Structure 1
Amino acid sequence: MHKVLIVDDDVELTAMLSRYIRREGFDTHGVHRGEIGVAEALTGQYSIVVMDIMMPNLSGTEALRRIRASSNIPVLMLTARGDNVDRIVGLDMGADDYVPKPCTPGELVARIRAILRRVDSRDVPSGPAPKLLQAGELRLWTGTRRASWQGQELELTGTEFSLLEVLARHSGSLVSKQEISQQAFGKPLEPYDRRIDVHISSIRQKLGLRADGQSWIHSVRGRGYQLLED
């Protein structure tokens, strides 16, 4: 059973969300301070963290930064509706997705399930070797969701892995953002949604630059992205 950590200073909301998520087949635990949320997230007991951005003492963005310093556990941020700045900052710091508040418990559970489908941290049972996807010097083991770049281990969040997997499968070809959203997230791209752009920016930083000073991921304004092999 997947265990969900909820970090939100709203005690009543946390209790309500916990009850609903448990009815949907998950185990849950709620805490109300960012620093406690960080400590809990790093225990290894949880499959995913749901965390509010606006919290006293330690904000959700700072808590996310501390978590990302040593863990790639999936993190779903709760943001104020219409606050694009918080969303972009959260994604840029490594959040896997966000849900604007107020949100329905059903929408939240759907997002949790979507992330967990993409990111399964359980060990793959013994048997055939995990499938290897290779594009140039990029290698992706899709079974274990491990990645290497130029012979070195590549640390990716779950969402980054899903996006890079889509680009690798179409290596050398331009992939529209609509196609990327459908294949990586299983849903159409919403108007003014910048999460793909923000995650691609993070992936670019991790891959570094080509010998000619250009990015390994080429963008065509208004059309999409292309992973270059050489």
Structure 2
Amino acid sequence: MDIYLKNEGYRLLKANDGQEALELLERYQVDLIILDVMMPRMDGIEACMKIRESKNMPIIMLSAKGQDMDKIAGLSIGADDYVTKPFNPLELMARVKSQLRRYHQFSGPQRSDESELEIGDLVINTSTHEVTVDGQEVQMTPREFAILELLASNQGIVLSMERIYQEVWNEPFMESKNTVMVHIRKIREKIEKDTHNPRYIKTVWGIGYKMERL
């Protein structure tokens, strides 16, 4: 991984465990994190949860566990992508580039044509990557923001899970319903007062999701 990343021109910081990674994040500006699940002292799951308490850069999880529930667990605690070992290094490079493009798109310099999407008390600023509910800012990962923006830009229109996945992940769907469902659940936890009776994101059973017109 070190060789491939450096060949692509990336600068790297290496940590031997999750605790060391947290210490590096306090001292350096980091644009993307690749976390192995199995690490000493503090594993990747706990490290991801700690990072997500204050930071929103993309996190790619690596694990030898390939079961759906393991992937769902990784995505549920804030990871943006999950890669199962063994993997092709070129596939990982493609995922790194995709995550960085999206992250820099949303967190780059503020444009003069700043635009906002307002749905009831939910405000989505597509220029600054800021989301507020009832005036309170809500922290979103790049993936979560991309899904929320996609739904908000198509208010009242039902979007299939296949379309959401293909537009946000920029890759073929390949039966990735669980991935979309996990991200929708995380978004609801952040913007909905009652996740069992959501106000903003409605489930259209058998089809997908839509953002209500309010």
TM-score normalised to the size of structure 1? 0.84
Please, which runs of 5 or more residues in structure 1 have no aligned partner? 1-16
Match of 1:70 among 35, 39, 54: 54
Give the match for residue 197 of structure 2. 214
Q: Find the counterpart in structure 2 of residue 98 from structure 1.
A: 82
2:32 maps to 1:48: yes
Aligned amino acid, residue 113 of structure 1: K
Residues 30 and 133 of structure 1: is their aligned pair in 2 closer, same or farther, counting only changes over 3 Å?
A: same
Q: 1:109-188 maps to which residues of 2 (within 5 A)?
A: 109-120=93-104, 122-124=107-109, 128-188=112-172
Gaps of 5+ in 2: none
User: What value does the CA root-mean-square deviation take over the aligned residues?
Assistant: 2.0
Paired with 2:38 and 2:177, the residues of 1 have a C-alpha distance of 21
CA contact (8 A) 1:42 1:67 kept: no
Give the Cα–Cα distance (whole angstroms) in 2 for the partners of residues 23 and 117 of structure 1. 18
- Contact kept in structure 2, 1:160 and 1:203, CA below 8 Å: yes
Pairing 1:84–2:68 present: yes
User: Post-superposition shift, 1:224?
Assistant: 0.5
Instruction: Determine whether 1:204 maps to 2:188.
Output: yes
> What is the distance in 1 between the residues matched to 2:148 and 2:210?
10
CA distance in 1, matches of 2:50, 2:75: 14
Residues 92-119 of structure 1: per-residue CA shift (max 9 Å, x gap): 1111111111111111111011111111
Alpha-carbon distance in 2 for matches of 1:152, 1:98: 30
Q: Which moved more, 1:94-103 or 1:192-201?
A: 192-201
Specify the code of the residue in structure 1 equivalent to 2:19.
E
Letter in 2 for 1:99: V
Q: Distance in 2 between matches of 1:84 and 1:168?
A: 28
- Residues 34 and 63 of structure 1 are in contact (CA less than 8 Å); yes or no, is this contact kept in structure 2? yes
Residues matched between the structures, number: 212
- Quick one: distance in 1 between partners of 2:107 and 2:134? 26
